[in-house]
Amino acid sequence: MNAQNVGKINFVGALITLATIFAAILWAFPIYWGIISSLKPEDEVVRPYIELWPDTLTFQHYWFALTQTQIGRWYINSIGTAVGVTFLTVTTSMFAGYAISQLNFPFRRTLYWIILASFMVPTQVLIINHFVLIANLGLLNTWAGIILPQLIHPVIIIIYKQFFDQVPKDFREAAVMDNAGEFRILFKVYMPLNWGVTTAVSIVTFIWSWNAFLWPFLAVTKTELMTITVGITQVNDAFGVYYARQLSAAVLAGFPVALAYLLFQRKVTEAITLSAGIKG
């Protein structure tokens, strides 16, 4: 490689770096703007020009959200439903993935194709069916009503199936020769080899569920049962819209997810890569 080529590569590399930084700023700016606006007095928020830093820094909107709304209750609802959705989704997907990957039973292949085909049906299309079904079951305005329709995540079943497919056949055969039943093979042999996947899909499912808005919005009408994503729509009063107040509630709603992402960044990226690989 001669000096001319090195120069060319460095120039291209610098351009790519600049473009990446610009894209990052473009992407991050709304978040910055939202956080900064939530720290401004209401009259500063509605000024017709851009101020990148507040004249007066205030936490009054956060104080309002934390003391004058049911945000604590919404947090609990969100945590409860997200944990429930995560636990049930991951558990059922793990069993389904194992069965499709490792067990022989009638219509196994057909079942797999049905699960694959369900990718093509957007959740929104099923919303009305879900609503009627949950209403008929008398589960509207309950945690169960919020949780049940969110358990449909075919991608996690496929992720598990793929990982179980990759476990060498000898391990299963050795365990079978050692008198191990299917539950013991799953939990003592297959799952320990796939804890990384389970961690990754659990985090991502938790984030999906925490951020879910449409279904919890339809399934719950009582303020005390709302999840935080739905609850923040309630942070207003009869005298109009308070942007800073609503933004502070939105920041509080997004905070746990942002924290989870920062703490488990590598795992989340891994899970997104896994699901993207399957979807693609």
Residue from 16, 31, 121, 174 in contact with another protein (CB under 8 A) = 174
CB atoms within 10 A of CB 157: 27
Per-residue exposure over 35-64, b if at least 16 CB sit within 10 Å of its own CB, e if not? ebbbbbeeebbeeeeeeeebeeebeebbeb
Q: Which stretch binds another protein (CB under 8 A): 61-69, 185-193, 197-205, 256-264?
A: 185-193
Q: Report if residue 103 touches another protein, rule: CB under 8 A.
A: no
Q: Which is nearer to another protein, 30 or 192 (CB)?
A: 192
Q: How far is residue 45's CA from residue 55's CA, in Å, rounded to a whole number?
A: 11
Q: Report if residue 274 touches another protein, rule: CB under 8 A.
A: no
Beta carbon of residue 186, minimum distance to another protein (angstroms, whole number) = 13
Q: What would the two tokens of residue 70 be? A: 């049911």
88 Cβ contact partners less than 8 Å away, ≥ 6 residues apart: 147, 151
Q: How far is residue 146's CA from residue 218's CA, in Å, rounded to a whole number?
A: 9
Q: Report if residue 106 touches another protein, rule: CB under 8 A.
A: no
Q: What would the two tokens of residue 38 be? A: 């939530």
Q: Which stretch binds another protein (CB under 8 A): 53-61, 151-159, 187-195, 198-206?
A: 187-195
Q: How far is residue 177's CA from residue 166's CA, in Å, rounded to a whole number?
A: 20
Q: Which stretch binds another protein (CB under 8 A): 3-11, 99-107, 184-192, 210-218?
A: 184-192
Residue from 66, 144, 193, 257 in contact with another protein (CB under 8 A) = 193
Q: Report if residue 184 touches another protein, rule: CB under 8 A.
A: yes
Beta carbon of residue 240, minimum distance to another protein (angstroms, whole number) = 59
Length in residues, the chain: 280
Q: Report if residue 173 touches another protein, rule: CB under 8 A.
A: yes
Q: Report if residue 188 touches another protein, rule: CB under 8 A.
A: yes
- Side chain identity at 110, as an amino acid letter? T
Q: Report if residue 176 touches another protein, rule: CB under 8 A.
A: yes
Q: Report if residue 180 touches another protein, rule: CB under 8 A.
A: yes
Contact 155, 120 (CB under 8 A): no
Query: How many residues in the shown chain lie near another protein by CB under 8 A?
Result: 17
205 Cβ contact partners less than 8 Å away, ≥ 6 residues apart: 85, 86, 89, 90, 153, 156
- Side chain identity at 206, as an amino acid letter? F
Q: Report if residue 175 touches another protein, rule: CB under 8 A.
A: yes
- Tell how many helices (H) and how many strands (E) occur in the chain: 16, 0
Q: Which stretch binds another protein (CB under 8 A): 1-9, 102-110, 144-152, 180-188?
A: 180-188
> x/- contact string, 130-169, with another protein (CB under 8 A)?
--------------------------------------x-
Per CB under 8 A, residues contacting another protein are: 168, 170-171, 173-181, 184, 188-189, 192-193
